[in-house]
C-alpha cells in the first residue's frame, strides 16, 4: 500500500470538532420546515431526512446516522427507507438492522461528489415512507448515532469535502413528533 493511499484512508477517519447549527433532521416536507405530523390511518406519509448545513461545513460527501424511537408495530415492509436519488451509495437502514449492520439500525450514505453550497444548505438524504403502520400517540423519532467501526465518533456525522481526506464532522440530531404536539425545535441534540 502506498503512503498516499494509507494517508487518504487514515484521513477519512479523522474526526473534526462539532459544527455549529448543523444537524440531520426529520421533516414532513422537502423544504425542512415542519417536524410534526398526524399520521393516523393515512395510507402514505413521507418523512424527509435532510442534512441542514448552517455552520462550519457547507458541503458534504456523506453521512452516518440512525433513527431511534420507532414503534414496535413498524417493520421494514410497512416503513421502508428510500435513499435520495442524488445519493451514490446507501448502505443499511436508519430504522432497522440489516445483514450489513446486523447488530444495530444505521445507514451510511455517500455522494459521488460534494453536495451543498453557500446557496443550498439543505441536502436531502432520503425518506422514511409510512405505509399506514399502526402508530400510537406522541411518538418521538430522533436522529442519533451508531458505532459501526472504531473510531467512529459518538454522534451523527457528515463527511466533509476537503483535504486531507474526508473528515467526519459531528452534527446534531433532529426530532419529529408523530400524533402529538410540535417540538419546540426540530433540532434536539447538540453535536458532541
Residue 163 CA to residue 112 CA, distance in Å, equals 16
pLDDT score for 43: 83
Cell digits of residue 23: 444537524
Q: Which helix (H) or strand (E) holds 12?
A: helix 3-12
Domain of residue 94, residue span: 3-189
Q: How many domains does the chain have?
A: 1
Is the link from the previous residue into 164 a cis peptide, with omega within 30 of 0? yes
Say which CATH number the domain at 151 has: 2.60.40.680
DSSP lists the bridge partners of residue 26 as 49
- Whole-model pTM? 0.86
What pLDDT, in 10s, does the model give residues 137-148? 999 999 999 988
Mean pLDDT for the chain overall: 85
> What residues pair up with 36 in beta bridges, in sequence order?
177
Helix (H) or strand (E) holding 47: strand 45-53
166's CB contacts (< 8 A; 6+ apart) are 11, 12, 61, 62, 159, 160
Which residues have a Cβ under 8 Å from the Cβ of 137 and sit 6 or more positions away?
Answer: 179, 180
| 173 close to 162: Cβ distance less than 8 angstroms | no
What string of DSSP letters covers 61-105?
EEEEEEEE---TT--TTTS-EEE-TT-SEEEEESSS--SSSTTS-
What gap in Å lies between CA 107 and CA 93, rounded to an integer? Answer: 5
Is-contact 31 120, C-beta < 8 A?
no
Binned at pLDDT 50, 70 and 90, residue 118 comes out as: low
**pLDDT tens, position by position, 1-36:** 333 332 233 333 334 444 446 999 999 999 999 999
Amino acid at each position: 500500500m502506498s503512503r498516499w493511499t494509507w494517508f487518504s484512508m487514515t484521513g477519512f477517519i479523522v474526526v473534526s470538532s462539532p459544527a455549529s447549527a448543523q444537524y440531520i433532521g426529520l421533516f414532513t416536507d422537502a423544504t425542512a420546515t415542519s417536524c410534526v405530523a398526524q399520521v393516523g390511518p393515512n395510507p402514505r406519509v413521507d418523512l424527509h431526512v435532510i442534512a441542514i448545513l448552517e455552520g462550519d461545513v457547507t458541503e458534504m460527501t456523506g453521512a452516518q446516522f440512525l433513527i431511534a424511537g420507532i414503534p414496535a408495530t413498524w417493520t421494514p415492509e410497512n416503513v421502508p427507507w428510500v435513499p435520495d436519488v442524488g445519493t451514490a451509495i446507501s448502505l443499511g437502514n436508519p430504522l432497522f438492522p440489516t445483514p450489513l449492520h446486523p447488530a444495530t439500525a444505521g445507514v451510511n450514505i455517500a455522494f459521488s461528489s460534494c453536495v451543498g453550497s453557500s446557496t443550498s444548505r439543505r441536502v436531502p438524504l432520503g425518506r422514511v415512507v409510512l405505509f399506514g403502520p399502526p402508530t400510537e400517540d406522541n411518538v418521538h423519532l430522533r436522529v442519533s448515532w451508531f458505532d459501526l467501526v472504531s473510531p467512529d465518533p459518538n454522534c451523527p456525522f457528515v463527511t466533509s469535502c476537503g483535504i486531507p481526506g474526508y473528515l467526519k464532522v459531528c452534527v446534531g440530531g433532529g426530532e419529529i413528533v408523530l400524533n402529538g404536539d410540535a417540538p419546540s425545535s426540530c433540532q434536539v441534540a447538540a453535536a458532541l
